[in-house]
Structure 1
Amino acid sequence: MKKIFLDKGHGGSDPGAVANGLQEKTLTHQIVEYAVDHLFENYTGFELRVSRAGDQTLTLSQRAKMANDWGADVFVSVHINAGKGTGFESYVYNGGVSSQTIALQNVLHGEILFAMRGFGAITDRGKKRANYAVLRETKMPAVLTENLFIDSNDAKYLKNEAFLKAVGEAHARGVAKFLGLPQKAKPQPQKQQKESDGKLYRVQVGAFSDRENAERLAEELKGQGYPAVIV
């Protein structure tokens, strides 16, 4: 069983960044809860813990220690940015990190950015490194995500519940892909037989200028049991 530790940034007496009627600690709680739901609904072969169930106050070292003491296989800390910028970025520790840590950052960054861009032209601020305590003190592959800016025009996305759900689910998919979690078997719905009118109807679900984005969507559709063809 793989052990997944998800850290909800800030909490309790530390609200994190605050602007536009939003609080970082509330947004990180929502995103992680959506990630948790998606993991349990779609994957098997894992155990999961979160740094705080509600609005508790925790130090950075406490969060890292919780993951270390449990022996987590992966650590993801979810945050919202501030500073009047725009876009998404991810971080790993700026010291010596394993190739597994870089692999986790790569898959998470791609999944989250792809999900965000379903809502608009989100800026990719890049895959970065920093001396953050939760990255420095954890003993397993660890990534910190900064999911848009609370004090800029990005707030319009952060006020959208569907956007937060998509971002949470993208975190879940990234972790699941990195760990190679088996997908749950989904029951196939019973199809009603209907007399054919001789016509064939096709549905296009995406059009992309970047083939990599098309291939990612095709793989996602195949994972959900749909035939997918790139033309």
Structure 2
Amino acid sequence: MKLYLDPGHGGTDPGASGNGLLEKDINLDIALRIQSILLANYDDIQIRMSRTSDQTKSLQQRTNEANQWGADYYVSIHCNAFNGQARGYEDFIHDRLSDNSQTANYRNTLHQEITKVNKLSNRGKKKANFHVLRETTMSAFLSENGFIDNSQDAQLMSSSTWRQTVAHGHANGIAKAFDLQPKSNGGNPTPDPEPGTVYRIIAGSFKSKNNADKRVDLLRNAGIESFVDRHLISGEVWYRVQAGAFRSRNNANQRLDEVKDAGINDAFITVN
């Protein structure tokens, strides 16, 4: 199964914002976690992401890439914003599709799994004429994971534990919809000794966005994908460079060694 995973917005397009958060950052974090969960736990899945860092990419580029690759499913991750009062989760398929279509059936499965765990009010299953739903040649799904300008939803979004849970909801839905088989270890599913744990490699924290971007460039030149994650700490904005997120401590240690070999000796692992 070939999954095209699209963290909405990015680069010069921040998407929605509110409560010290940017949509593009939340989208990317959730999508990277979905990728990690699926690749770690299921066989016969290939994943291509529209972006793995804070990159500018047009909607046309995203759908062209998915179509040319021959993806089986397109999943676009987003957050909502409106008036500061609206709350909750909703998802979309294209408005020309019937409720009995295969795309609708896939969406029903994802919707059930995501809303089961995300602690958000359920705004329902919806349809729209969004570009990524209209211009894809495969079934496509778009999730809106809360309202970033609502203080209660944003409080959830700011939690790495919540983002991991939401990622699990998406991954579980995709696995069920496409009947993905768990990876085996002697005939048993791959063990997860610390369920929900994510090891993130932090390659620097800066008050200057420009300095954080320079660190990302340094890592990219060394062949290491990374992105800038914006944090609000004690009322001050900090820009943290993340160079990977893993379910496996061994994989995280390997990436940490690669980052240090690139000359960043103060890199470290956080456990969430």
What is the TM-score when the length of structure 2 is the normalising length?
A: 0.65
Write the letter of the residue equivalent to 2:148. Answer: I
Deviation at 1:50, TM superposition (A): 0.4
The alpha-carbon distance between structure 1 residues 187 and 80, as it changes in their structure 2 partners (threshold 3 A), is: closer
Name the % identity.
Answer: 44
Structure with greater contact order relative to length (CA < 8 Å, sep ≥ 6): 1
Deviation at 1:173, TM superposition (A): 1.2
Q: Which residue of 1 aligns with 2:103?
A: 101
Deviation at 1:169, TM superposition (A): 1.5
The 3-state SS of whatever aligns with 1:181 is: coil
Q: Which residue of 1 aligns with 2:210?
A: none
Runs of 4+ in 1 over 3 A off after TM superposition: none
Q: Is the aligned partner of 1:88 residue 2:89?
A: yes
Deviation at 1:188, TM superposition (A): 10
Q: Which residue of 2 aligns with 1:8?
A: 7
Deviation at 1:179, TM superposition (A): 1.1
Worse-superposed segment, 69-78 or 96-105 = 96-105
Once the two structures are superposed, the pairs formed by residues 110-149 of structure 1 within 5 Å of their partners are 110-117=112-119, 122-149=120-147
Q: Is the aligned partner of 1:173 residue 2:166?
A: no
Return 5+ residue gaps in structure 1 as ranges: 190-231
Query: What's the Cα RMSD here?
Result: 1.5
Q: Which residue of 1 aligns with 2:64?
A: 65
How many residue pairs align between the two structures? 184
What is the TM-score when the length of structure 1 is the normalising length?
A: 0.77
The 3-state SS of whatever aligns with 1:154 is: helix
Write the letter of the residue equivalent to 2:121. Answer: T
Deviation at 1:46, TM superposition (A): 1.1
| 1:95-139 deviation per Cα after TM superposition (whole angstroms, max 9, x unaligned) | 13672100111111111111113xxxx211000000100000001
Q: Which structure dedicates a bigger proportion of its chain to strand?
A: 2
Deviation at 1:59, TM superposition (A): 1.1
For the residues of structure 2 that align with 1:67 and 1:137, how far apart are their CA atoms?
10
**Between Structure 1 and Structure 2, whose CA radius of gyration is higher?**
1
Once the two structures are superposed, the pairs formed by residues 147-186 of structure 1 within 5 Å of their partners are 147-152=145-150, 153-185=152-184, 186=190
